[in-house]
């Protein structure tokens, strides 16, 4: 008998179908050992009753955990919100729930969030955002994730390669290379980099691509100005001030992500420096507003939403012998923020 005002339970479904709890459970789980007619009848009745399994009971009883934990640095950063959108989309299609956490770019806090998710017994953990250069923290995260996987959890990372788990990896080095090459093709020789914190692996990788391109064309790394700061709009502003003051000969600024590029453009505008006539600017990521900045931003396109989907797809597959890696590819999108180097 259905209890008034309560959600139907599996027993109700089973009773209505005239079968036992076990059979009903098996039928709804799509497990074998139930004849087709009976299974169909059970499913039909479940649907009629609006039955939805209680995930707490299901998980407690040892069934599949159906929630995925997503760790981002900051949801209101478009880089992460676009990734999150991809994850949430695919999760909804698969009937999974997404629990989202912010780490605030703090490795220690991130570790705490990670432990919290594991304690909450999520089935899948997706961890996005640059890794940290601090071997201690990375090692702890690695160990925690390894243990989690040994107990049947699944993990995928987005944009970090040092965790020993499946990963979706943007082509950071190649992208950095393409940006620098593009600027040099335009005649720029005095290039400055607005880089994020030195402790982020993403920063290091992108920077490596830039310096490689310079070296390839005969410039010495010493010719490159690199200013580190926050990997955010504010960091871009600060870096630009410093570049303008200390390296006035600069004709092009490479911001290592679009958030910083936004700050760079903002400062140049308020300083009335014409872009790209006097200084060219490039970003990295191609978040969706990049095309709407003024001038619209030349940048490296990463398929952010797709990256989110891919990461979840990896995590839904059974664990492989060795961590899988998916490169994202990269695409230089040339817009209005870059132009020929000014002829002195």
CB of 54 to DNA, least distance (A): 4
Show contacts with a copy of itself in window 46-85 (CB under 8 A). 52, 54-57, 59-60, 67, 74-76, 78, 81-82, 84-85
Kindly tell me which residue out of 16, 45, 53, 287 binds DNA, with binding defined by CB under 7 A. Answer: 53
Which residues are bridge partners to 228 per DSSP?
195
The stretch among 55-63, 67-75, 224-232, 280-288 that binds DNA (CB under 7 A) is 55-63
CA atoms within 13 A on the CB side of 224: 25
- The DSSP code for 73 is S
Half-sphere exposure of 226 (CA within 13 A, CB side): 16
Give buried/exposed letters for 282-292 (b at 16+ CB in 10 A, else e): bbbbbbeebee
Site stretch for DNA (CB under 7 A), options 20-28, 77-85, 316-324, 327-335: 20-28
Task: Compute the residue count for the chain.
Answer: 344
Closer residue to DNA, CB minimum distance, 52 or 222: 52
Calpha distance 138→116 (Å, rounded)? 17
- Least distance to DNA from the beta carbon of 35, Å? 3
Determine the Cα–Cα distance for residues 177 and 124; give it in Å rounded to an integer: 34
Q: If residue 299 lies in a helix (H) or strand (E), which one and from where to where? A: strand 299-301
Site for DNA in 60-89 (CB under 7 A): 60-63
Binding of DNA by 25 (CB under 7 A):
yes
Among 6, 245, 343, 344, binds DNA (CB under 7 A): 6
Residue of 142, 143, 213, 148 lying closest to 177 (CA atoms): 213
* Interface with DNA, residue 26, by CB under 7 A: yes
Q: What is the DSSP letter of 5?
A: T
30 sits near a copy of itself (criterion: CB under 8 A):
no
Tell me: does residue 33 bind DNA (CB under 7 A): yes
Contact residues toward a copy of itself (CB under 8 A) are: 5-7, 52, 54-57, 59-60, 67, 74-76, 78, 81-82, 84-85, 88-89, 92, 97-102, 113, 116, 119-121, 147, 150-151, 233, 262, 265-266, 269, 288-289, 291-295, 305
């Amino acid at each position: 008998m259905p209890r008034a005002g309560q959600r139907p339970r599996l027993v109700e479904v089973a009773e209505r179908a005239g079968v036992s709890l076990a059979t009903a459970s098996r039928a709804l789980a799509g497990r074998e050992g139930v004849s087709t007619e009976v299974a169909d009848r059970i499913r039909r009745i479940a649907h009629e009753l609006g039955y939805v399994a209680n995930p707490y009971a299901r998980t407690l009883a040892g069934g599949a955990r159906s929630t995925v934990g997503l760790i981002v640095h900051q949801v209101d950063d478009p880089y992460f919100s676009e990734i999150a959108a991809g994850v949430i989309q695919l999760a909804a299609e698969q009937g999974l729930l997404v629990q989202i956490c912010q780490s605030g770019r703090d490795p220690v806090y991130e570790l705490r969030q990670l432990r919290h998710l594991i304690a909450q017994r999520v089935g899948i953990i997706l961890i996005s955002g640059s890794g940290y250069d601090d071997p201690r923290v990375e090692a702890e995260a690695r160990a925690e994730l390894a243990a989690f996987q040994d107990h049947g959890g699944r993990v995928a990372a987005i944009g970090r390669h040092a965790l020993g788990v499946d990963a979706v990896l943007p082509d950071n080095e190649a992208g950095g290379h393409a940006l620098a090459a593009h600027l040099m093709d335009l005649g720029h020789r005095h290039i400055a980099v607005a880089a994020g914190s030195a402790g982020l692996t993403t920063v290091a990788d992108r920077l490596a691509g830039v310096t490689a391109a310079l070296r390839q064309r005969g410039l010495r790394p010493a010719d490159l100005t690199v200013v580190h700061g926050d990997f955010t709009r504010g960091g871009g502003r600060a870096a630009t001030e410093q570049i303008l003051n200390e390296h006035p000969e600069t004709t092009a600024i490479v911001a290592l992500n679009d958030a910083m590029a936004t700050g760079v453009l903002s400062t140049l505008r308020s300083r009335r420096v014409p872009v790209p006539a006097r200084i060219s600017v490039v970003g990295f990521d191609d978040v969706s507003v990049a095309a709407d900045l003024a001038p619209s931003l030349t940048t490296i396109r990463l398929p952010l939403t797709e990256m989110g989907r891919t990461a979840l797809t990896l995590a839904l597959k059974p664990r492989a012998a060795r961590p899988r890696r998916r490169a994202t590819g990269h695409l230089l999108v040339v817009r209005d923020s870059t132009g020929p180097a000014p002829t002195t």
